[in-house]
Amino acid sequence: MNENIPENLSPEECAGKIFEISGVRFEPEIAADLWEKILQHKWLLSEKVGRDVGFRTACIDFVENMEQALDEYMTYQRRDILIEMGAQKIGREIWDTISDSQPPKQLVRRRIILPLTEEHISTKHGVTPPKSIIFFGPPGTGKTHFVKAIAGVLSWWYVEIAPSMLMEEGTEKVGANLRRIMGKARKLEEAVIFIDEFDELAGCRDNADRLDKSITNEFLKQVPLFKNEAKKVLLVCATNYIRQLDPALLRPGRFDCIIPVGGLNDDERKTILQYYLSRLNTGEIDIERIVKETSRFTPADIQYLFEQVAQFAFEHEIVEKEDHKVTTETIFQILPKVRPSMTDEILEEFERDSDTYARV
Ligand SMILES: Nc1ncnc2c1ncn2[C@@H]1O[C@H](COP(=O)(O)OP(=O)(O)OP(=O)(O)O)[C@@H](O)[C@H]1O
Ligand SMILES: [Mg+2]
C-alpha cells in the first residue's frame, strides 16, 4: 500500500491528524511525541503481520492499546539506545573477586545494591536508593572496576560515556552531545551509566573559559533531570581530581553519594594478590611476604606485576622446555621492576580529600 504520511507536522497538526483518525484528542505537545511512536508502531505491527498495515490502522491500534504499545515502543527504543551506546553485560564474578573488606564494597552493598535488590523492604522503610554517585581516588585504585562490579551484581547494563566520545565533533558540540546522550540514557532501564574522567566535563567554573563553563552548566542541568526521570538507572561518575570539580556539583542534592576509593590494607591486597596468583602456574608461594613487600601497590600495579611474572614464566618454559612454576622468588625477581603508584604525598592528599568531600 502506498500512502502519503505527512512529514514535519507542527504539534497542532499532529493532534489534528490523530484526532481525525482515532477520534481521541491529545494536547499538541503530546501528540507530536506520539506521532513518532505511531510511526514506529506501524513498523512493528507490519513486521508482526508480515505486510504493511498502513498509518490509519497503526494509529487506531496504537491509541486503543496505548499502554501496551508504549511499552513495546520503549522496549525497541531502549534496545536501539543500548546498541548505540555500546552497552555491555558484565558477569557477577567481578563483584565476587573483590574482598569484602575492600572499601567501599560494604558501603556500596549497603547503600546501593541492597536497596535495589530488596525493593520491598527498602520501600517499607522509606529508603530511596541513590541514583547518582561519584567515585574519587588516585589512578588505578579500582574505581572503574567497582562500577563494573555494581552493574554485574545487579545484572544491569553497563554503559560507559567517555568525555572523548562527546568531544568527537569538536569542543563546541560537547554541551549539545551531552544533552543528547543524557536524554537517551534517561530512557534506559536497569542500566549503570558511567562517566569516566568526569572532571573534564564538570570542572570548576571559576577558572574555566567560556566553553568549559557552558559544559559544566549543562552538566549541572542534566543531573537533576536524570534523577527525576530515570527509573532503574544509576549514574556513576569517576574522577582522580575531586577538588577540581565545580562546588555546585558537590553540594547535597545533586550527587547522593561521594565515595573515596583509595589505598589497600594488607588484607585487601592479599585478596587481589591471591586472585592474580590463582591464574598462574604456581609452585611454593609465601603470600604473607608478598603482601608485606607490596604495601604501596594499587590494584593496577598488582595487575601489571602479574602480567610481567606471567610473561617471565612463559618465556622460561619456552627456553627450558620444561614446566616452569612461579614461586615467591620469581615474584621477588620481578618486583623491583614495578614502581608502586602510592606515595606518601598521594596518600596524604587522598586522606585530605576524603575528609573534605566524602559523603556516603
Ligand atoms: N579488587 C580487584 N581485584 C582484582 N583486580 C582489580 C581490583 N580492583 C581493580 N583491579 C584491576 O586493577 C586495574 C585498575 O583498576 P581500575 O581501572 O578500576 O582503576 P581506576 O581507579 O578506574 O583507575 P583510573 O583512575 O586510572 O581510571 C584494572 O585492570 C582492574 O581490573
Ligand atoms: Mg578508571
Q: How high is the pLDDT of residue 201?
A: 79
Q: Ligand 1: does its nearest atom lie under 6 Å from the Cβ of 143?
A: yes
When the candidates are 1.10.287.40, 3.40.50.300, 3.40.50.720, 3.90.480.20, the CATH number that belongs to 88-262 is 3.40.50.300
pLDDT score recorded for residue 171: 78
Res 92: pLDDT: 92
Where the chain has pLDDT below 50, the residues are: 1
201 contacts 249 by C-beta, under 8 angstroms: no
For the whole prediction, is pTM greater than 0.85?
A: no
Query: Which residue of 145, 197, 241 sits with most ligand 1 atoms within 8 Å of its CB, as the best mutation to test the pocket?
Result: 145
Q: Does domain 266-341 have CATH number 1.10.8.60?
A: yes
Whole-number pLDDT of residue 298? 95
pLDDT, residue 230, reads: 67
Q: For residue 210, what pLDDT is reported?
A: 67
pLDDT digits (tens, 9 = 90+) for 200-226: 877 766 766 766 788 888 888 999 998
* Three cell numbers written together for 127: 529508603
For residue 140 and ligand 1, the question of a CB distance below 6 A is answered with yes
pLDDT of residue 204: 67
Ligand 1 atom 13, closest CA: 300
- What is the reported pLDDT for 2? 54
Q: Where in the chain is the domain with CATH 3.40.50.300?
A: 88-262
Q: What is the pLDDT of residue 211?
A: 67
